[in-house]
């Protein structure tokens, strides 16, 4: 399939968005004259990682090698694979659209409930980077989706990515509207802010989660939002808890299930602020996943070795000790940042994670200095985490992945 422009230059601040799509063959070349921004969406164990990269000139065709996840509401049953190469550019093959100046539109999305003019689409955006939506078409049952959203340009462009085949680009307007444009020409719509207080879509629908029952609480890890959600202890909760006990699992092991449920707002036991709970109306299926996205280990089970940093792979270097992090039972974190060792306190509450202040040794190591500085910066900026399988994702609060690490058995690193 040839490159497809998401929209004209008038809709996207700095020209048009170039998207290369393919199923299982390489994309056609995308020729660009001058690349203003390059945003890569990399596949790391099936999770999209959006990172903005440096400006550079392009004089040769840009080729994106990308695949998309299989459509369906069982995201954990199949390995999701997605890789996009989006560039905001002056494109010679992009419908001849001239470059447009940077938009003066809003740079942030106002959390709340947004509705299309014909009421066929309802989107709810939460300030923590989560969204959910309902799409209704005549003669068809409602379709639901949820996931994470990120701001990817200063001109008011946002990406929403959930369980569907492709992400959705959202262009923010001055009048509290959002223009949606699906990748590959899937159709656009304009949404208007209906209520600036987000409220859950309280319709039960299938949701694939990783469930764990504990003595004082129950949690469901949702791979679409990369968050652990508390489960309301009502309706079908006893059935879900019984399935977990019968499976022989014990915390921190998870039971992969498909439930009928929705999010509901309630009071947090340790805060005056409302929080979202997963309200389960029925247990639909216990899954046998094979390769899955349920957490297989806990944060303090062993050493975490760096595999990706700011969207780039970190290959093993012969003769060099691997970069790693260890979270101790004493709430101390330690490890090797490249050349120097570091240590300090860490704080964790459910998905929230903060590290530091960190003390480091003072060895000179020019060969790995750049990687070390970048990694220490990531540790300082980490606000939350997620574990899928034996992979640890260090993230900003909104879900932007900063680093990915792999668990290996704990050992004494020299």
**Per-residue model confidence as pLDDT tens digits over 360-410:** 998 988 888 899 999 999 999 999 999 999 999 999 988 889 999 999 865
Distance CA 170, CA 5 (A): 14
Distance CA 297, CA 393 (A): 13
CB 263 within 8 A of CB 279: yes
Rounded (10°) CA dihedral 10, 13, 16, 22: -130
CA–CA distance from 412 to each of 35, 124, 277, 336, 372 (Å)?
46, 47, 40, 12, 20
What local confidence, expressed as pLDDT, does residue 274 receive? 73
Instruction: Spell out the domain ranges in the chain.
Output: 4-91, 112-195, 205-286, 303-408
- Joined tokens for residue 383: 């606000």
CA atoms within 13 A on the CB side of 250: 0
C-beta neighbour count of 111 within 10 angstroms: 18
Instruction: Let me know if domain 303-408 sits in CATH 3.40.50.620.
Output: no
Please report which confidence band the pLDDT of residue 152 belongs to, taking 50, 70 and 90 as the band edges: confident
What local confidence, expressed as pLDDT, does residue 33 receive? 26
Average pLDDT over residues 143-150: 93
What local confidence, expressed as pLDDT, does residue 41 receive? 36
113 pLDDT above the threshold of 90: yes
Indicate the DSSP class of residue 29.
P
CB 210 within 8 A of CB 389: no
CB 203 within 8 A of CB 134: yes
* All residues at 6 or more sequence positions from 117 whose CB lies less than 8 Å from its CB, including other chains: 190, 192
Average pLDDT over residues 96-120: 70
What are 200-257's pLDDT values in tens digits? Answer: 999 999 999 999 998 878 999 999 999 999 999 999 999 999 999 999 999 889 999 9
Least confident of 270-284, 306-320, 339-353: 270-284
Average pLDDT over residues 274-300: 86
Least confident of 137-141, 147-151, 179-183, 194-198: 179-183
Classify domain 112-195 at the CATH topology level. Lipocalin (2.40.128)
Tokens 């209520």, located at residue: 195
303-408 has the same fold as 112-195: yes
Task: Identify the residue with better confidence: 364 or 334.
Answer: 334
21 pLDDT above the threshold of 50: no
The domain covering 205-286 belongs, at the CATH homologous superfamily level, to NlpE, C-terminal domain (2.40.50.540)
CB 178 within 8 A of CB 151: no
């Amino acid at each position: 399939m040839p490159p497809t422009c998401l929209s004209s230059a008038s809709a996207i601040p700095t020209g048009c968005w170039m998207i290369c799509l393919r199923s299982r063959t390489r994309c056609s070349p995308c020729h660009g004259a001058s690349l203003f921004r390059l945003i890569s969406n990399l596949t790391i164990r099936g999770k999209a990682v959006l990172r903005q990269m440096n400006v550079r000139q392009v004089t040769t065709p840009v080729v994106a090698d990308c695949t998309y996840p299989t459509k369906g509401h069982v995201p954990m049953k199949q390995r999701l694979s997605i890789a996009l190469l989006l560039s905001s550019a002056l494109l010679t093959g992009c419908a001849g659209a001239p470059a447009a100046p940077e938009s003066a539109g809003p740079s942030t999305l106002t959390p709340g409930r947004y509705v299309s003019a014909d009421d066929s689409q309802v989107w709810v955006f939460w300030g923590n980077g989560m969204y959910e939506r309902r799409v209704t078409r005549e003669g068809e049952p409602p379709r639901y989706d949820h996931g994470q959203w990120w701001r990817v340009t200063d001109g008011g462009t946002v990406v929403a990515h959930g369980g569907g085949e492709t992400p959705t680009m959202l262009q923010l307007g001055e009048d509290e509207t959002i223009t949606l444009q699906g990748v590959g020409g899937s159709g656009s719509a304009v949404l208007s802010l209906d209520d600036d207080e987000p409220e859950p879509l309280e319709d039960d629908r299938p949701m694939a989660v990783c469930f764990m029952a504990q003595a004082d609480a129950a949690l469901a890890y949702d791979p679409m939002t990369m968050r652990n959600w508390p489960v309301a202890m009502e309706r079908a909760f006893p059935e879900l808890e019984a399935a977990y006990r019968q499976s022989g699992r014990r915390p921190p092991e998870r039971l992969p299930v498909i439930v009928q449920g929705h999010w509901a707002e309630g009071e947090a036991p340790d805060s005056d602020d409302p929080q979202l709970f997963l309200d389960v109306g029925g247990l639909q299926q216990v899954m046998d996943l094979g390769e899955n996205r349920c957490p297989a280990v806990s944060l303090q089970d062993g050493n975490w070795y760096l595999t990706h940093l700011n969207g780039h792979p970190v290959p093993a270097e012969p003769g060099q000790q691997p970069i790693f992090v260890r979270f101790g039972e004493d709430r101390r974190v330690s490890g090797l940042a490249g050349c120097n060792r570091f240590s300090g306190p860490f704080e964790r509450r459910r998905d929230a994670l903060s590290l530091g202040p960190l003390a480091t040794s003072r060895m000179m190591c020019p060969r790995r200095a750049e990687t070390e500085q970048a990694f220490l910066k990531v540790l300082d900026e980490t606000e939350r985490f997620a574990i899928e399988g034996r992979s640890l994702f260090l993230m900003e609060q909104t879900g932007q992945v900063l680093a990915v690490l792999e668990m290996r058995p704990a050992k004494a690193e020299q």
